[in-house]
Structure 1
Amino acid sequence: MRINFVVLMVLLLLGGCDQSAPEQKGFAGMGDQALAFTPVVPGRVFSFPADHGAHDGFRIEWWYVTANLKDQQGNEFGVQWTLFRSALKPLAEQAGWADQTIWLGHAAVTSSTVHHAAERYARGGVGQAGVRLAPFEAWIDDWRFASQAQDPLSDLQLSARDKDFAYQLHLTSSRPLVLQGDKGFSQKSEEGQASYYYSQPFFQASGTLQIDGQSYTVSGPAWLDREWSSQPLTANQTGWDWFSLHLDSGEHVMLYRMRQKDGAPYLTGTWIAADGQTQTLRRSQIQLTPQDTAKVAGRAMPVKWSISIPDKKLDISLDALNPNAWMNLRIPYWEGPVHIRGSHPGQGYLEMTGY
């Protein structure tokens, strides 16, 4: 889903909170109340390109890209790039250390045998990280997601580098973006927690990828998620399982399952037709079942799943390209590419948090 969450823990680690700070509720504190921040309510009218930028007044925000790639020999890879914005106070950006924003970056590459992940941290107001429009650029240190195009989502450059990997990708799309949920209002619980959420699932990526000193020329589909909120979870929600699926038929599917301490998970998603038309998927329409687990970082992770959406005649199974795609970062989680087999073959990405 691209709640990619860790931002609130970073807030505590880097934001100068004292030792008397209350224990956080929900996964990574995302169920903590945020009464001083702007609430997410239905009926918002999105505006582009302005909504590609940062949103003052909201506590949590991210720019998130995943790509399923192959080289000329058919070797498979996955790439992730994420920039998180976490506001300490509901204020506009300020110059210097008076700024009340924490920035966090995650980048990863995955093959069938290797998974590398890295993170970056920055305080706002000093130029180390941020998002600007005209021309669009989201960055932290030398990690960049940038465009010179009038429509930023039509033509972008994506890059990141760490000691064990690097990538430089060109992302293009002529397709319109997708508003998730109810016209961009994406509900996360029966109690009404929600985010504003849009995606660009129609990117095509090409470029170069380096892993452990070996270079590859790669291409394949990519997916951008954009979300912002102030309290996207309840205190009872412990984590989620999020799926972004590129089907060979040209259709796309986004699903997320929000797990809870008590009661059934909250389950919803979006069916994206090949022409870009969307349909919200309700719990009653989705059968999402873990099929097998792998021991990863001392945890039992469900790396194989079955998904059935009878209304769409979809009956598929998913398995991880690399079951050990563990993001061994300050707040750890699982994220990696998956194969799709069955009625609608394809490829995609899976994120699992809170295990």
Structure 2
Amino acid sequence: MNVKRALAAVVSKFTLAATLLALPAPPAVAQGYAGLGTEAEGFAVPVPGRPLVFPCDHAPHPDYRIEWWYLTANLTGDDGRDYGVQWTLFRSALRPGDDRQDDAGSVWTNPQIWMGHAGLTTPDAHHSSERLARGGIGQAGVSTAPFEAYIDDWHMRSRDQYLRDLTLRATGDSFRYDLSLSADGPLVMQGDAGYSVKSADGQASYYYSQPHYQVTGTLDLPNGPVAVTGEGWLDREWSSQPLSEDQSGWDWFSLRFNSGEKLMGFQLRGASLFTSGTWIAADGTPTPLEPGSLQATPVTFTEVAGRKVPTEWQLRLPARGLDVRVSAMNPQSWMEMSFPYWEGPVRLSGSHVGKGYLEMTGYGAPAD
């Protein structure tokens, strides 16, 4: 990194830190988790019936307030141990529009804020790192033809526009991973052809997934490098008000069964529970779940970062004969970020056997 770019990065992170401090605190129930229930005035909002178009919808949507490119992978090392990785790039707009500079030619008025999260989980350790950037200065962004999402030296990169083959890289103080991913199945539209409802009040997002990646690569850990293979799952979502004001957080499951079938399911916690999801056949055909048909019951709570977090769940979907115990591989998979949350690989037992990932947000401030 040259001196000019290094200085820009420092200034950008200082500016972004000040911006983040002005946002609602993560536990603020009145605006949903991390402010995602705030009003969407001036921004576009999702509407049913708008078809998703590719490769256009792999790119950013600056008319919407927030979106993310989110990849998780369940991996097995050549040492016989299980691992998990997460790579996420978030875009959040301070105001509507895609201003690149003001009348004086300054890029510092660009309203786009970028945040990167990376996690690497082992059975006995959890590593995580965060990157922050301001739009307009070339430190972070997403481009197409070919596709690339990046922040600093982290990247998710494809040889074409369609995300069929990816390389994935992230580094932290105690870890690094370099992975190659190849999709052997189709994109999956979540909800109603990509229109995913999140509350009884009608909040929604556009949401699609690529849950069919085969993964190879290397993890660099404090004890040395480990060659890994496994399966990956990419989620793409954008909205301007994805939660209701009273929704304090969510429990989100991405599960793959040994039968080849898959399940994306979520539970949003508020004045009442709202659950939904998608059953994905082995050939990739999606079937939306009726709201409330998925039953998620916490079984075991673990103290994590001073919080009581459910790290074992009973998940039932009677219409599919599903009755599984979802257990965290490492209960201490806490992401201590600007907006903290739990994220880690899980194992499945019961009516269906397999692996997956679990994300849980909004579980309160540390206890005194």
**Interval of TM-score (by shorter of Structure 1 and Structure 2):** over 0.9
CA separation of 1:71/1:102 partners in 2, compared to 1, >3 Å: closer, same or farther?
same
Note if contact 1:164-1:213 (Cα within 8 Å) is conserved in structure 2.
no
2:6 match: none
Distance 1:240 1:20 in 2: 17
1:59 aligns with 2:65: yes
The alignment partner of 1:250 has SS state of: coil
Note if contact 1:11-1:88 (Cα within 8 Å) is conserved in structure 2.
no
1:177 aligns with 2:187: yes
1:130 match: 141
1:326 aligns with 2:366: no
Distance 1:78 1:86 in 2: 26
2:78 match: 72
2:3 match: none
Give identity over the alignment, percent: 51
Note if contact 1:188-1:233 (Cα within 8 Å) is conserved in structure 2.
yes
CA separation of 1:14/1:148 partners in 2, compared to 1, >3 Å: closer, same or farther?
farther
Distance 1:103 1:326 in 2: 21
2:306 match: 298
Distance 1:213 1:50 in 2: 42
Note if contact 1:11-1:86 (Cα within 8 Å) is conserved in structure 2.
no
Q: Which amino acid counterpart does residue 285 of structure 1 have in structure 2?
A: S
1:268 aligns with 2:276: yes
CA separation of 1:250/1:16 partners in 2, compared to 1, >3 Å: closer, same or farther?
closer
Distance 1:26 1:19 in 2: 12
Q: Which amino acid counterpart does residue 276 of structure 1 have in structure 2?
A: G
Aligned with 1:31 (options 27, 33, 37)? 37
Shift of 1:299: 1.0
> Structure 2 matches for 1:126-165, cutoff 5 A?
126-149=137-160, 151-165=161-175
Shift of 1:281: 1.0
Shift of 1:14: 4.2
Aligned with 1:115 (options 126, 140, 144)? 126
1:98 aligns with 2:101: no
CA separation of 1:16/1:180 partners in 2, compared to 1, >3 Å: closer, same or farther?
closer
Shift of 1:314: 1.3
Cα deviation per residue 1:318-354 (whole Å; 9 max; x = unaligned)?
1000000011122211000000111210000000000
Note if contact 1:136-1:152 (Cα within 8 Å) is conserved in structure 2.
yes
- 204-213 or 56-65: which moved more? 204-213
State the number of aligned residues: 342
Distance 1:270 1:139 in 2: 29
1:217 aligns with 2:227: yes
Distance 2:128 2:20 in 1: 26
Distance 2:171 2:275 in 1: 35
Distance 2:114 2:242 in 1: 18
Shift of 1:283: 3.5
Note if contact 1:221-1:246 (Cα within 8 Å) is conserved in structure 2.
no
**Which stretches in structure 1 are left out of the alignment for 5+ residues?**
1-9
Question: Could you list the runs of 4 or more consecutive aligned residues of structure 1 that deviate by over 6 angstroms after TM superposition?
Answer: 16-21
Note if contact 2:317-2:323 (Cα within 8 Å) is conserved in structure 1.
yes
CA separation of 1:269/1:167 partners in 2, compared to 1, >3 Å: closer, same or farther?
same
Shift of 1:94: 1.1
Distance 1:325 1:298 in 2: 13
Q: Which amino acid counterpart does residue 267 of structure 1 have in structure 2?
A: T
The alignment partner of 2:136 has SS state of: coil
Note if contact 1:155-1:172 (Cα within 8 Å) is conserved in structure 2.
yes
- 94-103 or 337-346: which moved more? 94-103
1:202 aligns with 2:212: yes
2:351 match: 343
**Which stretches in structure 2 are left out of the alignment for 5+ residues?**
1-13, 102-106, 364-368
Distance 2:177 2:307 in 1: 29
Q: Which amino acid counterpart does residue 318 of structure 2 have in structure 1?
A: P
Task: Tell me the TM-score normalised to structure 2 length.
Answer: 0.89
Shift of 1:213: 4.1
Q: Which amino acid counterpart does residue 72 of structure 2 have in structure 1?
A: T
Cα deviation per residue 1:27-51 (whole Å; 9 max; x = unaligned)?
1111110111001111111110110
